[in-house]
Amino acid sequence: MVETVWKATSKPSPLCTFLLLIILCILGFYSLHYPHSTVINPNAQNALRFRHIFLSSASNYTIASYLRILTLHPHLAGTAPSLAIVNYVVAQFKSLHLQTHTTQYKTLLSYPTHSSLSAHFTNGTVHDLSLSDSSDDVAVVRPYHAYSPSGTAFAKAVFVNYGRDVDFQAIKELNVSVKGCIVIARRGDLPRGIVVQKAEENGAVAVLIYTEGEEVKGFERGTVMSGVGDPLSPGWAAVDDGESLELEDARVLKRFPKIPSMPLSVRAAQLILNSLGGAPPPEKWRVDLRGVGPGPTILNFTYQGEKKVGTIHNVFAIIRGSEEPDRYVLLGNHRDAWTYGAVDPNSGTAALLDIARRYALMMRLGWQPRRTIILCSWDAEEFGMIGSTEWVEQNLVNLGSKAVAYLNVDCAVQGPGFFVGATPQLDSLLLEVTKKVKDPDSEGSTVYEKWAATNAGTNIQRLSGVDSDFAPFVQHAGVPSIDIYYGRDFPVYHTAFDSYEWMTNNGDPLFHRHVAVAGIWGLVALHLADDSILPFNYLSYAEQLQRYKVFLSNLLGEDKAKVSLHPLTTSIQELVSAAKEAEDEAKILRQQETTGDSVVLKNRALNDRLILAERGFLDVDGLQGRQWFKHLIYGPPGDHESKLDFFPGIADAISQSARMSRKESQAAIQHEIWRVSRAIQRAARALKGELT
Ligand SMILES: *[C@@H]1O[C@H](CO)[C@@H](O)[C@H](O)[C@H]1NC(C)=O
Ligand SMILES: *[C@@H]1O[C@H](CO)[C@@H](O)[C@H](O)[C@H]1NC(C)=O
Ligand SMILES: *[C@@H]1O[C@H](CO)[C@@H](O)[C@H](O)[C@H]1NC(C)=O
Ligand SMILES: *[C@@H]1O[C@H](CO)[C@@H](O)[C@H](O)[C@H]1NC(C)=O
């Protein structure tokens, strides 16, 4: 039998009385300060304390030192120097005693072997427009477009503005044909591959793309492959000994342009464009040129490249959750770069490593997250989100049932100003977290205050684009996601000048913006990993959908009489009611926080519904003709000049209406509206969690 210390007969010692008094005082203090909560929640107190430790252990020095090492050498995916960075990230995670592992894939990559470009002017001179921006810098890959076919062309140059449909239309109206010509386009909003495809459709034989801007120098490298992930394993992971399509397979070939293309420097572009004759450019292009061509200047264009299978490496650090190890909060950033990658992407990698350092410190002080946190370092994003996509495809079912959220940071710091994109249920959390983080550029204010004071206000973008690793998570797997960055449109994008020096001279001289990104990123993750009820708000989602409906209604114009938006109205109402019920339930559960088993199970049941609601927006059949894209609210429209950057299926139906009769097109739009409405209903039912 165990002897109890407090025998009824024995008198308490003075020390015990003293301790008892202290305990009573503490209880009194809590009841004064938390008058409404009957029970003090030690977990919540603890989580608050660790969030404070997280913020106060930030260091611009450590972030700078990580970035310095990450950017010592160029590290293009699939090349030997990129392995050094894989090993560096692994070594950092291991030195922090974090559980670490890597996954490898064999995927189709693309590299240049030879290229040249010269201009033959009418005065008889030939200019070599050398395709190297720093000829002494042999470490940097020569300027190229990944997955461009090899080819040569000796043809007249012609200028097509941004290479959009409206631009080719304007050229036609000038009675100018680009057939047989080498097209020169300035980079706008269209993906490079789409510009090349449109040039090809108009009969061009090769394409040169340059980027404008006062401070722009060098060549902007980039991919011209369409779609997402490894072209040889569309929809499944490119594992060793797995199925791999032949390079000649039609499904592979359709991802690549058929005519060759290369980047052009703005200096070389100016030289060529100023020598063009022909019709003067349309006024609305706002360019100072005599003519758009073709010619008389002739270009001698050669590009030779090879597509080859290479090994890529994703690196993971895992912090196992104490209570819900099977629920995952994922933080991801890619590691591969076209050149030195100081902005793109290693400003994000440096922030990720600093979060790892701070989480490890918290673990030494006794913290363990409630749910599992996974830090992901992706490879081959630049080629087309390959590392993240292969992994998502490989883990689709586990992610589908267990992923809480995916938090992406690509180019963490490009300059001043906070920018963020998110699926709408995460809006409220983002606003709250930015109120806790110091603004890097103005003493005494928070990120939130500076952000709210900008022209756009606290504008949160949506994740319909396919320009970073959130694409497979949102658009294929339906995982609530966020994408965070400071600054935009930096002049050294994808050039050899994206170096540590550029960062210290221009992007973030004191590394305070890096600290802010790491703070927001890591704090959002801590809430998602530690809050007993997930801070998801589906009323924001419903409000956003309501605005989309109004926008769509205006866009439909005359078709509105024949196309009904009623299914959208009804399904959005269902989502509103489910969202309100979930909010009420969350409020009650938050008030009665204890560790009792039944409450834990109730919390978990609500959290699962909050997670699964986003999956409701997925459709097994995906977008028509692009089945990999499963999300019916967010995804890229097939027509990049579409006015809708949401409801991609409806956007496609509207774009195709020109090729159909009025009746057919209205039926197609109506069908897509029904599909979106059913998706919203699925989300609402998942949130309600009851069977019909
Ligand atoms: C283009 O050609 C058509 C038919 O020859 C002519 O009517 C029109 O004026 C021309 N447009 C321009 C801008 O030269
Ligand atoms: C020939 O024309 C090009 C382009 O206009 C110009 O840059 C170059 O200086 C000219 N060369 C001579 C010798 O006039
Ligand atoms: C075009 O350039 C290639 C490679 O630099 C060269 O071999 C070829 O002679 C050039 N063609 C003409 C017509 O100048
Ligand atoms: C970190 O911030 C401090 C305070 O602004 C600054 O003096 C220091 O130079 C910064 N360190 C780095 C590496 O930029």
| Average pLDDT of the residues of the chain | 92
Q: Which protein residues are within 6 Å of ligand 3, measured from CB? A: 116, 154, 300, 302
In this structure, which residue's CA is closest to atom 10 in ligand 3?
300
What is the torsional sign of CA 423, 427, 428, 431? positive
Distance 155 CA to ligand 1 centre (A): 24
In this structure, which residue's CA is closest to atom 2 in ligand 4?
510
505 within ligand 4 shell (Cβ under 6 A): no
* Distances 218 to 165, 279, 444, 639 between C-alpha atoms, Å: 27, 29, 38, 30
In the chain, % helix, strand, coil (3-state, to 5) comes to 40, 15, 40
Ligand 1 atom nearest to 175, measured from its CA: 1
The predicted structure's pLDDT at residue 212: 92
DSSP secondary structure letter of residue 430: H
d(CA 411, CA 419): 11
d(CA 446, CA 433): 10
Ligand 4 atom nearest to 504, measured from its CA: 14
Distance 514 CA to ligand 4 centre (A): 11
In this structure, which residue's CA is closest to atom 12 in ligand 1?
174
Distance 411 CA to ligand 1 centre (A): 47
Q: Which two tokens stand for residue 229?
A: 């992930």
The predicted structure's pLDDT at residue 132: 60
Q: Ligand 3: which of 113, 152, 301, 302 to mutate, judged by most atoms within 8 Å of the beta carbon?
A: 302
Smallest Cα–Cα separation from 523: which of 629, 627, 430? 430
Report the SS3 class of residue 63: helix
In this structure, which residue's CA is closest to atom 9 in ligand 4?
510
Among all ligands shown, which has an atom nearest to the Cα of 171?
Answer: 1
Q: Residue 644 CB: number of other CB atoms within 10 A?
A: 19
Q: Which two tokens stand for residue 109?
A: 């990559």
Ligand 2 atom nearest to 121, measured from its CA: 2
Report the SS3 class of residue 664: helix
State the DSSP string of 83-133: HHHHHHHHHHHHHTT-EEEEEEEEEEEEEEEEEEEEEE-TTS-EEE--S-S
Peptide bond into 491 cis (omega under 30): no
- Domains identified in the chain and CATH numbers: 50-70+322-369+395-530 (3.40.630.10), 108-309 (3.50.30.30), 538-688 (1.20.930.40)
Ligand 3 atom nearest to 154, measured from its CA: 13
In this structure, which residue's CA is closest to atom 8 in ligand 3?
300
Q: Residue 301: which region, alpha, beta or left (left: phi > 0; alpha: psi -120 to 50)?
A: beta
Q: Residue 245 CA to chain centroid, in angstroms?
A: 27
In this structure, which residue's CA is closest to atom 5 in ligand 4?
510
Q: Residue 310 CA to chain centroid, in angstroms?
A: 24
Ligand 3 atom nearest to 116, measured from its CA: 5
653 within ligand 4 shell (Cβ under 6 A): no
**Averaged pLDDT, groups of 10, the chain, 692 residues long:** 36 45 43 42 82 97 98 96 97 98 98 95 91 64 96 97 96 95 96 96 97 88 96 96 95 97 94 95 93 94 97 98 97 98 98 98 96 98 98 98 98 97 98 98 96 93 96 98 96 93 97 98 98 96 98 88 94 98 94 73 95 98 96 94 93 91 93 98 97 90
The predicted structure's pLDDT at residue 42: 66
Position 143, amino acid: P
Distance 502 CA to ligand 3 centre (A): 36
Position 592, amino acid: Q
Residues with a catalytic annotation lie at 381
| Pairing outcome for strands 126-128 and 99-120 | antiparallel
Q: Assign 3-class secondary structure to 375-429.
A: EEEECCCCCCCHHHHHHHHHCHHHHHHHEEEEEECCCCECCCCEEEEECHHHHHH
Cβ–Cβ under 8 Å, residues 229 and 147: no
Q: Ligand 1: which of 175, 176, 177 to mutate, judged by most atoms within 8 Å of the beta carbon?
A: 175
Smallest Cα–Cα separation from 348: which of 498, 192, 191? 498
d(CA 20, CA 26): 10
Among all ligands shown, which has an atom nearest to the Cα of 508?
Answer: 4
The predicted structure's pLDDT at residue 292: 95
Among all ligands shown, which has an atom nearest to the Cα of 170?
Answer: 1
Q: Ligand 2: which of 118, 120, 125, 275 to mutate, judged by most atoms within 8 Å of the beta carbon?
A: 125
Cβ–Cβ under 8 Å, residues 516 and 605: no
Position 567, amino acid: P
Distance 514 CA to ligand 2 centre (A): 46
The predicted structure's pLDDT at residue 213: 87
CB-side neighbour CA atoms (13 Å) of 405:
29
Q: Residue 392 CA to chain centroid, in angstroms?
A: 14
The predicted structure's pLDDT at residue 593: 61
d(CA 253, CA 246): 10
**Burial tier of 543 (Cβ tally within 10 Å: 0-12, 13-18, 19+):** middle
* Long-range CB contact pairs, 567-573, < 8 A, 24+: 567/673, 567/674, 567/677, 567/678, 568/673, 568/676, 568/677, 568/680, 570/677, 571/676, 571/677, 571/678, 571/680, 571/681, 571/684, 572/542, 572/545, 572/546, 572/680
Q: Ligand 3: which of 152, 300, 302 to mutate, judged by most atoms within 8 Å of the beta carbon?
A: 300
Distance 645 CA to ligand 4 centre (A): 40
What is the torsional sign of CA 617, 623, 629, 634? negative
In this structure, which residue's CA is closest to atom 13 in ligand 4?
61
d(CA 514, CA 409): 11
Ligand 4 atom nearest to 509, measured from its CA: 14
| Bridge partners for 378 per DSSP | 334
Among all ligands shown, which has an atom nearest to the Cα of 514?
Answer: 4
Ligand 3 atom nearest to 300, measured from its CA: 1
In this structure, which residue's CA is closest to atom 14 in ligand 3?
300
The predicted structure's pLDDT at residue 293: 84
Cβ–Cβ under 8 Å, residues 534 and 528: yes
DSSP secondary structure letter of residue 557: G
| Bridge partners for 127 per DSSP | 119
pTM of the model: 0.92
58 within ligand 4 shell (Cβ under 6 A): no
Q: Which protein residues are within 6 Å of ligand 1, measured from CB? A: 174-175
Smallest Cα–Cα separation from 369: which of 526, 504, 497? 526
CB-side neighbour CA atoms (13 Å) of 307:
22
428 within ligand 4 shell (Cβ under 6 A): no
Distance 210 CA to ligand 1 centre (A): 30
Q: Which two tokens stand for residue 257?
A: 């342009």
